[in-house]
Structure 1
Amino acid sequence: MYSLLVADDHPLFRDALHAVISAGLADTQLLEANDLATAIRTIEAHDELDLLLLDLSLPDADGLEGLKTLRDTFPWLPVAIVSAHQERQLVLDAIAMGAVGYIPKSTPREQLLVALTQILQGQLYLPADIMRRPSAQSEPHVDKLPPETSRGRLASLTDKQLDVLDCMAQGMSNKHIARELSIAETTVKTHVSAILRKLEATSRVHAIVIANKQDLGVYLAQRHSS
């Protein structure tokens, strides 16, 4: 049985989330908190929690500061963001700060269950439609590698590894990537391992951040046209 905590200050959304999870994820306990302080007290009283679903608009937390506080205080607890905000850079910033997923509140019921299942199985979830959007030139970058270093690392990837990395940056799971590229899931795992090694990334999340810093879509277009 999974134990989840949802921290959101809107009772109607908490009720809706409770209904979706109760119907779609059997034997799941859902606890609730309407602000960050209550969430912290609840976590302290329930060390068996499997996942925290965190809204970024809590009355006593300033955006990602709530996430930072929770990651610093409870590093053992996976935190996924559930938010009405859908800016790609915000998604990347949340992931870079340790979130294990980012679920827009506009996500349909079935996709929400897919996202939660993926996260509870230990995978990262990113909203594919948001990750496909082009980045604004003014957006800050969360990865601090010099551009020439990022380009050099991307240049070391094969065409197939770049395709896999592109799918990863869109938030696809290994199974989804396998279907998208018509290859075996074991082959995807092999490519992911090679990507992490060549990019010198410490995790799948780190590789995604590097890919977005370089603007992978532009790099892919340039490479395919050369």
Structure 2
Amino acid sequence: MTTLLVADDHPLFRDAIGAVIAAGLPGSRLLEADSLARALTEAERHAAALDLLLLDLGLPDAAGLDGLARLRAAHPMLPVAILSAEQDRRTVLEAIEMGAVGYIPKSTPRDDLLAALERILEGQLYLPPEIMRRPPRPATRKPPNEAMLVSRLTRLTDKQLEVLEGLSRGASNKAIARDLDIAETTVKTHVSAILRRLGVQSRVQAVLLAGELDLPAYLAEHRPR
């Protein structure tokens, strides 16, 4: 049985997420907490059975990402995903760097929410594509370190660039494998090579680096005709 805990101080939202999970993840169990203190207590009580904690950033006894930090300190092995109305890109990336396994905006449509939960429960990182996607830069504006970034991207093979493009969209390894018609284990190998060749430590850092350039435009310009 899959056991989830939602920590949110709005009863109507807890009811709504409970209905979504009951319909889309049959057989699962949903625990509830209306404060960080209660979430910590429930996490301790159900430590052996809990598969995922969904954390709102607006709890009355935790400001911003402080709740995530305290949960990570108390339960470092517990997967925690943010489920919040806050959609600032910097907050999303900071949460992931702090150890969150996903970031789901509360505005996410029902089907996409279920897909995100399934991805996280499968052990994949979930990043919301609409937040990760940067608006196009004006043609006249170039980043001062563009030459350095281009030089890093040129270290990647064509296939690795396609995998990086998938990561930048927030796609899971499984989705990238399906899109590129390759094995999921091959995607994992490519991801490891991408991190090594870009000189970064995580998928998020690779996405950040790619975000400094318009990656689709780079691919269109440099991919062989």
TM-score range, shorter chain: 0.7 to 0.9
Question: How many residue pairs get matched?
Answer: 218
Mark the CA change 1:147 to 1:41 in structure 2 (over 3 Å): closer, same or farther: farther
Q: What residue is the counterpart of 2:31 in the other structure? A: 31
Task: Calculate the TM-score normalised by the size of structure 2.
Answer: 0.83
Which residue identity lines up with residue 82 of structure 1 in the other structure? Answer: L
Deviation string for 1:158-195 (max 9, x for gaps)? 23322211220221012322344455545433322321
Task: Give the unaligned 5+ runs of structure 1.
Answer: 137-145
- Equivalent positions of 1:6-85 (< 5 A) are 6-48=6-48, 49-85=50-86
Give the C-alpha shift of residue 202 in structure 1. 3.4
Letter in structure 1 aligned against 2:5: L
Structure 1 residues 130 and 193: CA distance shift in structure 2, 3 A: same
TM-score for both structures, normalised by structure 1 = 0.83
CA distance in 2, matches of 1:185, 1:46: 32
Q: Could you say which residue in structure 1 is the equivalent of 2:96?
A: 95
**Structure of higher CA gyration radius:** 2
Q: How does 1:1-226 map to 2 (within 5 A)?
A: 1-48=1-48, 49-134=50-135, 152-181=151-180, 183-212=182-211, 216=215, 223=222
Q: Can you list the C-alpha shifts for 1:132-163, whole angstroms capped at 9, x where unaligned?
A: 13399xxxxxxxxx988765533311233222
Give 1:95's aligned amino acid. I
1:81-105 C-alpha deviation (Å, 9 max, x unpaired):
0011112222111111111001111
Matched to 2:110, the amino acid is R
Cα distance, 1:176–1:44 mapped onto 2, change above 3 Å: same
Residues 201-210 or 190-199, more deviating: 201-210
Q: Which moved more, 1:147-156 or 1:49-58?
A: 147-156
User: Does the 8 Å CA contact 1:96/1:209 hold for their aligned counterparts?
Assistant: no
- Quick check: 1:5–1:53 contact (8 Å CA) kept in 2? yes
2-structure distance, mates of 1:135, 1:98: 29
Distance of aligned partners of 1:96 and 1:134 in 2 relative to their CA distance in 1, 3 Å threshold: farther
CA RMSD of aligned residues (A): 2.7
